[in-house]
Structure formats: structure tokens, C-alpha cells
């Protein structure tokens, strides 16, 4: 039987890696990756391609949205701003927030999904771990999903699925182990290229997840 088609937003990070491992069991998968002038653009793209190769996914689309860099407003894309270390304070929007980035990504994904006939947009967002990002919440995805339904052809039926949104990092690591997801090929660091820095927000959350799950993270960290 023909599987339904899913567009998976695939950064190459841990969360989207485990999402892909989840979704590929039931769907024909197309992978979308975005370059937006982030510091670790090349490293993320490498992770994207290595994991796509691992699963033999041939339908891939890489889109350059580097105007987000030009627009600025985030320490991830503006090299004059410093990337924060550690876990951000509760209820504050972190400096790494890229203004409405996920809105842009979802819009591109919706266009592609409509053309290729996908019925699911899979996003590896994690609400708890992306504390303070306003475009990473369940409520945001719900509102954006309503906008997609309204703004596409009546025959297009497209849902946003967020399989790991309610999980914490440790639960994602455990689920990744169960699914034999190639987490060793994933990249989360906001700073490093060869070795992960181990200190930025994203590394801190990842390392804590592996630590709580009680398994070793197999990527290299700077000493």
C-alpha cells in the first residue's frame, strides 16, 4: 500500500533526527533543510545530508533564507551579538531567537508540501527545551496550521505534526535509542564546527538529556 507523504523539517539536530526515525516507519518522507546564515550552517547541512543518506531519503530540498541574516536581530545570525551560554531564564525570549524564523520555515514547507502532495508537516520542536521561543509552542503550531488550511487549495489537507513537542531531552534520547536513530550523526551546537562547544544553550540541553538518560553522547566535544 502507498504510504502517505510527510515533509520533515530537518535541521540535522538531535530532535529532528529522532522525529525522522519516528516518521519514516509510517510515511514516505521528503526532507527540508534551511540555511539562514547561522554560524554553524555548513556543519548543520553536513548532518542533514549524512542522516538523509543513512535513511536513503532522496527527496531533499535545501532552501537559503539568508535574508534572516540580513534582517538580523538574533545572536545566531548576527555575529556582533554574543551567543548566550547555559539555560535561559524562564519567561524571557533568548537572544538566539531568530525573529519569526519558524513562521518562515513552515511557510516554505507548506508550499513544498502542497506541490508534492504531502499530508503531514513534521516539526521536531520541543516546547520545554526551547524555553522562551514564541514560535516553538503548541499554540503557535495550532495557529499556523489554521493559516495553512485557510491559505492553500481546498483539496490540500496538511497537518503540522510535532511528535516530540511534549518530551524532554532525556525522553527524546531514550526514544532515539529505541528507534536506533543515528544520533551520532546529528549536530546541535550553535557555535562549533568540528567539535561541539559543550557550553552554548543547545549543547547544554543536549548534554543534560544524555546525562539524565544515562547514556553517552557519541559526538565530539571541545575539551
**Contact present, 88 and 97 (Cβ < 8 Å):** no
* Rounded Cα gap, residues 135 and 106, in angstroms: 10
Smallest separation, CB 200 to its own copies (Å): 21
Smallest separation, CB 111 to its own copies (Å): 4
Site for its own copies contains 26 (CB under 8 A): no
Closest CA to 98 of 80, 124, 79, 72: 72
Q: Which of 15, 135, 161, 217 binds its own copies (CB under 8 A)?
A: 135
- Backbone torsion region of residue 98, taken as left when φ is above 0, otherwise alpha when ψ lies between -120 and 50, otherwise beta: beta
Smallest separation, CB 178 to its own copies (Å): 32
Cα dihedral sign for 185, 31, 74, 164? Answer: negative
Site for its own copies contains 95 (CB under 8 A): no
Cβ proximity to its own copies: between 61 and 215 the closer is 61
Site for its own copies contains 154 (CB under 8 A): yes
Site for its own copies contains 127 (CB under 8 A): no
User: How is 131-158 classified by DSSP, letter by letter?
Assistant: TT-GGGSHHHHHHHHHHHHHHS-TT---
Q: Which of residues 34-93 bind its own copies (CB under 8 A)?
A: 61, 63-64, 67-68, 70-73, 93
* Rounded Cα gap, residues 45 and 27, in angstroms: 23
**Contact present, 22 and 84 (Cβ < 8 Å):** no
Q: Which of 82, 90, 139, 180 binds its own copies (CB under 8 A)?
A: 139
Cβ proximity to its own copies: between 105 and 173 the closer is 105
* Binding region for its own copies (CB under 8 A): 61, 63-64, 67-68, 70-73, 93, 97-104, 106-108, 110-112, 114-115, 134-135, 137, 139-140, 143-144, 146-154
Amino acid at each position: 500500500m502507498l504510504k502517505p507523504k510527510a515533509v520533515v523539517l530537518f535541521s540535522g539536530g538531535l530532535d529532528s533526527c529522532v522525529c525522522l526515525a519516528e516518521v519514516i516507519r509510517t510515511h514516505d518522507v521528503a526532507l527540508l533543510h534551511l540555511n539562514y546564515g547561522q554560524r554553524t550552517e555548513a556543519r548543520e547541512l553536513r548532518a542533514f545530508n549524512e542522516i538523509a543518506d543513512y535513511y536513503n531519503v532522496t527527496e531533499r530540498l535545501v532552501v537559503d533564507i539568508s535574508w534572516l541574516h540580513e534582517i538580523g536581530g538574533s545572536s545566531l545570525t548576527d555575529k556582533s551579538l554574543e551567543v548566550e551560554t547555559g539555560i535561559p531564564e524562564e519567561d524571557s525570549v533568548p537572544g538566539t531567537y531568530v525573529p519569526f524564523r519558524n513562521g518562515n520555515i513552515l511557510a516554505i514547507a507548506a508550499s513544498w508540501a502542497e506541490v508534492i502532495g504531502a499530508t503531514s508537516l513534521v516539526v521536531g520542536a520541543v516546547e520545554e527545551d526551547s524555553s522562551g521561543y514564541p514560535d516553538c509552542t503548541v499554540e503557535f503550531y495550532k495557529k499556523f496550521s489554521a493559516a495553512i488550511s485557510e491559505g492553500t487549495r481546498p483539496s490540500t489537507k496538511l497537518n503540522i505534526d510535532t511528535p516530540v513537542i511534549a518530551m524532554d531531552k532525556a525522553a527524546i534520547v531514550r526514544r532515539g535509542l529505541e528507534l536506533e536513530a543515528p544520533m551520532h550523526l546529528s549536530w546541535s551546537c550553535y557555535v562549533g564546527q568540528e567539535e561541539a562547544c559543550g557550553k552554548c544553550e543547545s549543547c547544554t540541553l543536549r548534554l543534560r538529556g544524555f546525562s539524565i538518560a544515562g547514556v553517552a553522547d557519541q559526538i565530539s566535544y571541545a575539551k
